[in-house]
Every structure is written in structure tokens, then in C-alpha cells.
Amino acid sequence: MAENTDNVLYLRGRHISNSINAENMDALIPPRRSDKCLWRLLNAGIHLRVRLCLARMDFYGVIQCGPIKYYDNHFLTAIVERWRRETHTFHLTVGEATITLQDVALIWGLNIDGIPITGVDTAYNKHTLQQRCATWLGFSPTSSQIKGAHLYLTSSLDHCLNNMINDQSTEEDVAQYSRCVALMIIGGCMFPDSEGAAVKLMYLQFLEDIELVNTYSWGSAVLAYLYRELCDTSMRLKVDLCGPVQILPSSTGIYLEEQAADVLQGLPFPPYGARWRRGFSWTHTAHHSVRIMRDMLDMMVEGQFLWTVYDMESPSVGTILDGDRNHLCRSACALINFHIVEMHRPERCLRQFGMRQGIPPPATNFDNFHKLTRQGRNNFDWATYHIDFVQMWNDRYNFVIGGNYVIPGTPAITVEYVGWYHRISQIVLSPPVVHSNIMGYHPVDAN
């Protein structure tokens, strides 16, 4: 059953795109950054023993991708304006696209299979949190270094810089140090917090047994977190984008050959995100150009959007996505991160998997779940509260979307899809004054 015109973008009246007008065309949505402590530590250098431990946790791919020195806030703003909470997709002129489990797995090398990140959100007092940090991280933070259930990342940075691992360090020292770095990755990149450079200590429970860390589905938790941040920001519930913005759409780059040395040391082959590590040049980039980005997306036509960006025959891809996990990327399942539950919608963007796109089935209304927060829910068991979605995740392979792969030279979308999509979507976001009547691209009043 296809969706009708009225019930798809039913939240459009509250959407951020409604605030775009001639007086407000250059308003930006900046990303909130929390990763500076992590990269300061990495610049100081961490011992191979720690890097190998992080690789066993499946976190090392995030480090291999390195920092992003500059974010293109204009582009981020333009794509947030096209995110729709109803469908968990970007509505482009050429169809729907989204960030999928495949993207998280290949860009950062995170595990997308395994146990969901959920459970009891235990409300420890500050003294108990200090004891837990002493046990699992090797240091007891001061009272000022803990705010609520958050640990400021500067405390982990100071501890790591003053207690560097060497060849003589004990295995316990290495494990504690590695958990410190892992928390900096979690709080700095994967789940950056609105408190600033801090990490929720509820994630520490998943790091206690080093050998079990990679059995959890960190990738699906990251995607749930990103979806929620995109949903809240696009509905004007936040003024900046707090989330793993490094995995949002980016221009392709080149593979850094020097990272091949990692493989020789027993470390994993760098994920795709490491191939895109390039210096950002402002020489030929327009400033104050959100209206240009918006206008270019408004005028994009079929053939200008690259639906498939990964070489699925590459050996490096095969080491991250084996046969089963490759199928999992097309699972229309629930993504879970404690109180956050978001739906993965591969059926709406099959072209990203090289498949032919037809009219998708109706999307589930998730408005009630967007209202859930952790506030006032001390010692709450989110796994039990979300038991239906946990069960859905456990059955994730039963929700894999099938389809027909596109044969070269044949259409990637059905004729019915084109007419349907133009009826249900909002294609143009720029105010009418921006578009030129002259052939070719002529940005109007772009400073």
C-alpha cells in the first residue's frame, strides 16, 4: 500500500524549512564539537598496546579517520533542512536518501551487529561514580570533574597524558587506559553530549569486559543517536547539531597510504572514513554560502547524485561487512540507544544498495518515542520498557528488505515512484527570490 499525499510529511508545518525566508536565508546550524580532547591525546601519541586494545573493542576505526579540522556549516545546514522526522530520510529533488547501517560500518568500522546498547540507567551517587572510575579507568575524578552522571573529558585527557602506557605497563594499566580512550571516543565522536566535552557514564558498563566490547552493536546505537539529533534539529528543538556529524554526507577523498603501516602492526585496515581525510581548502569555496548550497540542492537533477559510493568488491569492505552483515544493512529494524529508538528505513532508499526503487510502504508514526527523555527516570530499565523493539532488533535478519538490483542501462526507479514522490515531498526549499530565470546557475545576492 502506497502512502497518500497527506499522511507522509504530516509534520511539515513545524519543520525548520518553514523558517527559510528572504530575511533569514543565511542562518546557520553549527555542529557541537566535543572531540578536541581526544585528538590532543592522539597527537601526543598512544602506545601500540593501547591501539591494539582499541582495535579489539572495534573502536580503532574512529581514530584512523582522524579529526575534521573544519566543518562546512553551510552544507550541514542545507542537508538538515532536508531531513524529515516522519521518514528518517533526506528529501532531495531526486528522491529520498539517508544514512544507513552500511555507512556507519564502512565509514567508522563500527560493529552494526550484536547486542543493543540498552539496559538499566543506574543512578549512582557521585562517590560511587568516583569509585567506578577508579576501578575501570584507573583514576578517581574530583567532584568538579563529574556533573550529574557525566564525566568531563578533560579529566580523562589529564590522566592519560600524565600516565602514558609503555612496554613495562601491566595489562590492567593498559585495559584501564584503553577504557579512558574509548570513553573519549564515545563522548567526543560517537555520542557527543549537549553538556559539552563530557561523556555519559552509563556507557562505562559496556566497557568493563574488554573482550566483550565488540559484541555490542555500537554502530546501530550511533545511527539511532544521529537520527534523533537530526530529528530534533530539523524540528527546531535545538539550535545546533549535536551528534556524530563526521558520518554525514561528505565529498570523497583519497586513501592515505601511510596508514597501511597500521596493518603491519596487527591493526585493522583503515575504514572508508580514513580515505576521506583531506585538508579542507577555502581558496575556491564561497563564504556565507548556505543559500548557494540550498539552491544547488533545489536544482539537482537525476544523475547528479551518487547513490552508491563504496566499492563493495574491495577486500577492505569484505573485512568489515561479511555476507550476513552486508544483508543487515538493509534491515528495516529498530535502532536502540537506551531511551532512543529510531527506525532504519532502507526500503525508502534502495538505490543506495544498487537496487531499483519503487513506492515504499507507509512509515510508522514514531512521534511518541521522540518525546521520551532520561530526565526523572533514575534506575530505569530501558531494555524492559522497549522490549518490543529489543525483540525486533533480535529478529533483525527477518526484516531485511529485498529487491531487484539495477541492471546497467535500465532505470533505477519506477515510473510510478517519480509521480508519487513529487506529490508527497517538498522539493524546493529556497524562497522564490533566489532562483534566476537565466539559463545556468547564477546565485542571487550571495555574499
pTM of the model: 0.92
- Residue 289, pLDDT score: 83
DSSP assignment of 256-281 equals -GGGHHHHHTTPPPP-HHHHT-----
CA distances from 283 to 26, 73, 158, 174, 348 (A): 21, 16, 37, 44, 37
Per-residue pLDDT of the chain (447 residues; tens, 9 = 90+): 444 545 799 998 999 999 898 888 888 988 888 999 999 999 999 999 999 999 999 999 999 988 887 778 899 999 999 999 999 999 999 999 999 999 999 999 999 999 999 999 999 999 999 999 999 999 999 999 999 899 999 999 999 999 999 999 999 999 999 999 999 999 999 999 876 789 999 999 999 999 999 999 999 999 999 999 999 999 998 888 888 988 886 544 444 444 556 766 888 888 888 876 554 454 555 555 888 889 999 999 988 999 998 888 877 787 888 878 899 999 999 999 999 999 999 999 999 999 999 999 988 888 888 888 898 899 999 999 999 999 999 999 999 999 999 999 999 999 999 999 999 999 999 887 655 444 444 554 444
CA distances from 174 to 353, 382, 407 (A): 40, 32, 51
- Residue 268, pLDDT score: 84
Q: In this structure, which amino acid lies at residue 323?
A: G
Q: Report the candidate in 164, 204, 166, 170 with the shortest Cα–Cα distance to residue 184.
A: 204
Backbone angles phi and psi of 109, in degrees to 5: 70, 20
- Residue 276, pLDDT score: 64
551517587: which residue's cell?
Answer: 125
CB 310 within 8 A of CB 106: yes
* Residue spans per domain, the chain: 12-434
544498487: which residue's cell?
Answer: 354
CA distances from 264 to 59, 64, 87, 274 (A): 18, 14, 43, 17
3-state secondary structure of 401: coil
- Residue 123, pLDDT score: 93
